[in-house]
Every structure is written in structure tokens, then in C-alpha cells.
Structure 1
Amino acid sequence: MGVAATEYGGNENQSTDWFDAALEEAGGEAPEQYSEADGINFEALAATEPDVILAAYSGITQEEYDKLSEIAPVVAYPEDTAAFTTAWQDSTRLIGEALGKEEKAEEVISDVEGQVAQAAEEFPALEGTTFLTGTVDPAAADQIYLFTAADNRPKFLSSLGMELAPVLADNEEAQDAFYLTWSPERADELDSDILVTSATDESVTEAIAADPLLSKIPAVQDETLVVQTDEQEVLSTSAASPLSIPWALENVVPDIAAAAEQADSAE
């Protein structure tokens, strides 16, 4: 069995804390790893002699699918789903079906959805709070990068009772992509209770506040900007899975809930 090393958001094992914890609990052996930093490593993948190739959450092309199929049967993302937007429930069902474990897949989904519902009850301020999520960085080529409802990050926050801000939910351009860029000159239009952004380090927070355009984002002015500098936190909701979601509920949601509470108290 083999798996691509976690290049972004990986721990010292080039894995994730949630995967390692589950592996230890199951008493299993760590799978062989190979790098996909430069794209699919067909040779290294074939060397693991897989019985099946799981790519339910991926962006593989038809050409890559055909080439992978020469190695082993491939579980790709659904035809009506854009690349890298497969919901974790759909991925789990696809993998469960491929492995002949459909009932187990449904049990896992039910359990994790129950944990999400419990977290929503624990943090009632999340209910109805409007949000935007993406990256805001004065030093980036695209200073404002927002994820649409198709992306797993907004899907996760919506599952907690939050609402994607109308400025993006009603945007026609956002209907056909999992992200879009936004002009800094229109930063003041990004009206939402909170905004969740990833950054390389905390200095980006100060840079945003000092920027003459980005500082006009309502969540920046209201001090309800949630800056994630931990790559595992970002990965836990972007590449969401039944293992990462419980981890995110414990490690990601509290900061978002605190911002939601602050937004609620300011109204």
C-alpha cells in the first residue's frame, strides 16, 4: 500500500496528525510514501502494486485517469463534480463502494456528521453567522482569493450552521468555480460577519491592517478576521475527510466560534 507524502500541511512524518492517530489506534503499519510535489508519480505509485487507486478527492485529468487505469482500477471524483471539490461524504461513499464496505462508509458518515452537529450545539454563535474564506495577503499576486460554495472549506463552515456571505453566494461568477479572485479596490464590498484566511505567519495580519485597501474589508475593521497560520488547520478542512473533520472540530472551530461570538456581540 502506498500514499503520496503530505507536502503541504504535513507533520514531521509527511503525514497528518489525524491519520497517524487513526493508524496507531488501528495498530496498522504506515504505508509506503512517495513524493507528488511535481505531479502524479506514476512510477512510484506503480511500484507499490496497488489493487485500487483512490482519487475520489483529486483533480486528475482524463489522460491521467487512463494512465493510472493501466496500473489498477481507479476511483475518480464524480463526473458532475469539479476537481478538488468532492465532499467528504461523497468520497467516503465512493471508496466504501469500491472496497465493498458500503455499510461501514455510511456508519462513518453518520458518526462524523453527529460530531459536527454536536459542535454546532456547543458553539451556538456559529448559527447564522455569515462568512467568507480564502486568502488575503498584500504581498500575494492575487491579494484576495475567495473560495466558493463548491469548495470544502465553505461546505464545512456551512455544516456548522454558518452562511456563506451573500456577496459571494449570489455572485454568478462563483457558480462555476471553486474559487475566484477579488479586486482589492472592491475590498469594502466583502461584507461578512467573519473572514477566515490562511497566511504564512502572523505578520500578515498586521500587513492587512496596514494596507490602505485590504484594511477596508469589513471583517478586518470589525476585528473578526481569523488568520490560520498552521497548515494542518488549513488542510483539515480543504482536503476534508472523516479523519480530518473531528480534528478540525477540536483545533479549528474554537477560533472561528470566538470570532463569531465577537461579531454577534458587536451587533
Structure 2
Amino acid sequence: MAPVAAPVVDLGGNEKGSTDWFDQALADIGAPAPAPITLNDDLSMPVDAIAAQEPDLILSTFSGLAAQDYDKLSEIAPVVMYPDQAWSTDWRTSLDIAGRALGRPQKADRLRIETEQAIAQAKTAYPDLVGTSVVWGWIEEGDPPGLGMYTASDVRVRLLEEFGMTMPGYVNALENVDFEAHVAGAEARNVDADVFVCQSGGDDLAALPGIGQMPAVRSGATVTLTDWSLSQPMQFPTPLSIPVAIEEFLPPLNEAAAAAKQSG
């Protein structure tokens, strides 16, 4: 059993428009590369391209699949949707849903246990993460620049919490936000995170009004991502990507957490 089609990974993917861990998993079972699927310009699903692959099942547990696309895809094969909010299904729920849909719930349980053990071991290997608050965000264009942040609904943040990190009080107190929030540059000084993971626009954080006064920036407890490859295994966490995140993403994150603790 293997996928006949899969979405193209534009941000942080490899030269094949995929990820190394996904490609390796296919190689391990001797499966060919699935047909690459790219969203239409209006972000709707390319129904004809999917139908051409003649799938028996369409998994869409972590997506923003709209109702009209669901109806069209359901004419091709059964569609397994996300259970609640778009783009917010955590890795355990996705794994459980996929395991049941594919008739392999016991294998899904084994993968869950193995992944949870890896996460627990990571907390021991990177103790500075535990109890350290973190905000994952990006710099938004403007005069002065603003700050965008992922909230507790985002899967990246929830995985960081599994590694023992916490959300800062400022972000937790925000109301009427989805999985991301936006604040003006001057207000950013109040984002009281110990560590700042900056997804983009972080070339000279200390020089930015407001943002330069964030506690994490003042103490040098930042992880600036120059491209999406380092953070890709955290973007859509799965039992395949989480071990990669532990190996590649957690070391610089732990260094930033250690810097925050040393600064007092």
C-alpha cells in the first residue's frame, strides 16, 4: 500500500518537490514516487489531476480542503477530512485517522508509541527546552515592521510544547485569533518569550523598532531560519518528520534556550 499522488512540497522540500524522509519511506517499501500534485492558482484542488491517478482513498486530514473541493473529490473516491479546524490537525490525530481509514490501526498505534518515545528521549537530551517559553514568528513588511506569530492552535507550536517548551503569556492572552496572530512593531516589545524562532525577515532583529526590544532578541536567544529546509520537519509533523526535527531542528533551538537561561 502506497500513495499514488502527493502534494508538492514548495517550502523547504528537496529537488524532487518532496522531502528526504518521505522519499526514504517509499524506498524502504519499494514503492515508486507518487504523482506530484500542485494546487491551482486560486488554491483549489486540481481535481482532474487527482482523478487521473485513480486513487482508492483520499486522505486530507491536514489541509484546508474547502467544501466544494470535498464534494468534487468525493466523486472520485472516499475522502477523509480533517476533524475540526483547517490546517490544525495534530500528528497523533492524523495518524489515528489514517490508521483506521487504511485498516491498520494497530500499526498506527505502534508508530504513535515509537514517536512518543522519541519525543520523551529528546526532552532528556535537550533539557534546556523544558520550561522555556518560545514564540515562532516572522517579520512583516511595514514602517515600522510588524510581527506575525503562530499561536497555540498551530501544529509547530504544539510540537514545541511536547518537547517541554511553553507559550509566553502575551500570546496566550490574545483573543479572537486563529492559528496565527499579528502585532505592530512597537507592540512586539511586550512579547515575553524566552526564545524567538524567526521564520523570515530576521537579518538584523536588534535594529528593528519594538522587535529589537523583545526579551529573546535582547538576550540573543533567537533561531533565525535563513530558508525553510531546517524548519520543514516541524511544518507538518508526522512520525516520519519528527525524528528529523529532533536531529536537525532541536540542537540550535536548545542552544537558544540555554542562552536565554544564562541571561537570567
TM-score normalised to structure 1 length: 0.92
Residue 236 of structure 2 aligns with which residue? 239
Matched, 1:52 2:57: yes
Residue 94 of structure 2 aligns with which residue? 91
Q: CA deviation at 1:24?
A: 2.1
Stretches of structure 1 that go unaligned for 5 or more consecutive residues are none
8 Å contact kept, 2:123–2:163: yes
Give the one of 114, 122, 134 matched to 1:119. 122
The RMSD of aligned alpha carbons is 1.7
Q: CA deviation at 1:138?
A: 4.9
Give, as a single letter, the amino acid of the residue that structure 2 aligns with 1:42: V
Give the one of 207, 211, 214 matched to 1:210. 207
- How far, CA to CA, are the matches of 1:220 and 1:137 in structure 2? 16
Matched residue SS, 1:7 = coil
> For 1:168-247, what aligned pairs fall within 5 Å after superposition?
168-174=171-177, 177-199=178-200, 204-247=201-244
Deviates further, 161-170 or 133-142: 133-142
Matched residue SS, 1:75 = strand
Residue 136 of structure 2 aligns with which residue? 133
8 Å contact kept, 1:57–1:77: yes
Stretches of structure 2 that go unaligned for 5 or more consecutive residues are none
Q: CA deviation at 1:107?
A: 0.6
Give, as a single letter, the amino acid of the residue that structure 2 aligns with 1:261: A
Residue 153 of structure 2 aligns with which residue? 150
| Structure 1 residues 134 and 186: CA distance shift in structure 2, 3 A | same
Give, as a single letter, the amino acid of the residue that structure 2 aligns with 1:220: V
Give the one of 97, 103, 106 matched to 1:103. 106
Residue 261 of structure 2 aligns with which residue? 264
Q: Percent identity?
A: 35
Deviations 1:83-119 (A, max 9, x none): 1000011001111111000111111011011101101
Matched, 1:43 2:48: yes
Number of aligned residues: 259
> Higher helix fraction: Structure 1 or Structure 2?
1
- How far, CA to CA, are the matches of 1:126 and 1:99 in structure 2? 36
